[in-house]
Amino acid sequence: MTDTDRQKQPASRVSTAGRATTSRRRLHGAFGAGLSLLALTGSLVACSDGSDKSTAQATPSASASASNAAGPTVKNSESAEPTPAAKPTSLRQVTCKYRKDDSGSPSKFVGFPPGKLSRSVGTAKKMVITTNQGEIVIGLATRDVPCAVNALAFLAKKNFYDNTVCHRLATVETVGLGMLQCGDPLAKGDGKSPKDGAGGPGFLFDDENLNGMPLSRGTVGLAQNTEDANSNGSQFFISFTDENTQLTAMGAAFTMIGVVTKGMDVIDKIAKGGIIPFNDDPTADVRGEGSNAPKKKVVIKDVAIV
């Protein structure tokens, strides 16, 4: 089955009403040009259950001052190191499978990650992201997400993330959530490109560690390039408010890779800088027309898995 065919199949991910039983809409029609993570409000739906009735309604700020919003009030603290819930005897025994993304999404293909973890990847503890705004360090739950860490390590070694921009900033004032989204190698991050958030590495891999940690402040997860389960790629999001835990309560599930242990002050600074609303309309992001970009441009200079 191709990924194009897979997108036509009944959803296997969690919906707001429990397990979804109807086919799920593609990203651009449901959650905007970012990956399937950031939907989310005005309808506050993590994925569609096929009904016309919204589970919850939020009222995004569409005022003229929305583009100048200071962002949510954020606490200046880092999260604790993640505590893996599962402890395989040896991660060297894990076999990861990566498949070609044949959905037609734009990509920067640098090859497929190896199926087995190297010793250095298996013992990796941190993802260090160096940006023009400062350094962000993520404590990795490698034992719970070995294949995700393996993919990230491969991409980092290939300099996949170098000179890419974080294309999307979701704020409580505009969509009811607070997240910074990065990892699209082709994104412009200017609040104008409708394709921002559609790009990936040209391969996909399955979910891990679903519901492994709540979507609270400081947690980091993978965004998917479709609304289908098991379609992770290169994009990731960093949560900077506990408002995001509403998604967990609604049944949303993402591959959670760890928590920020250093650099939440960097994320806070970006959030407080506000957004560039897509085509001057902050609610266009909610309607799936494009991504609200951070006003403080975020350029990733280097990613290292250590």
Instruction: Copy the structure tokens of residue 215.
Output: 């979507």
pLDDT at residue number 248: 82
Mean pLDDT of 181-186: 98
pLDDT at position 247 is 87
pLDDT per residue as tens digits for the range 198-227: 999 999 999 999 978 989 999 999 998 666
Between 1 and 147, residue with greater pLDDT: 147
pLDDT, tens digit, 9 for 90 and up, residues 15-71: 222 222 222 222 332 333 344 444 443 333 223 333 333 333 332 222 233 333 333
Per the CB < 8 A criterion, the answer to whether 278 and 122 are in contact is no
Q: Average pLDDT of 283-287?
A: 86
Do the bridges between strand 126-131 and strand 134-140 make them parallel or antiparallel, or are there none, so unpaired?
Answer: antiparallel
* pLDDT recorded at residue 87: 52
Closest alpha carbon to 31 in 250, 238, 225, 183: 225
Q: Quote the pTM value.
A: 0.76
* DSSP conformation letters of 46-111: SS--S-SS-S-------STTGGG----------PPPP--S---S-GGG-B--EEE--S---B----
Rounded-to-10 torsion of CA 39, 43, 47, 52: -150
**pLDDT at site 288:** 82
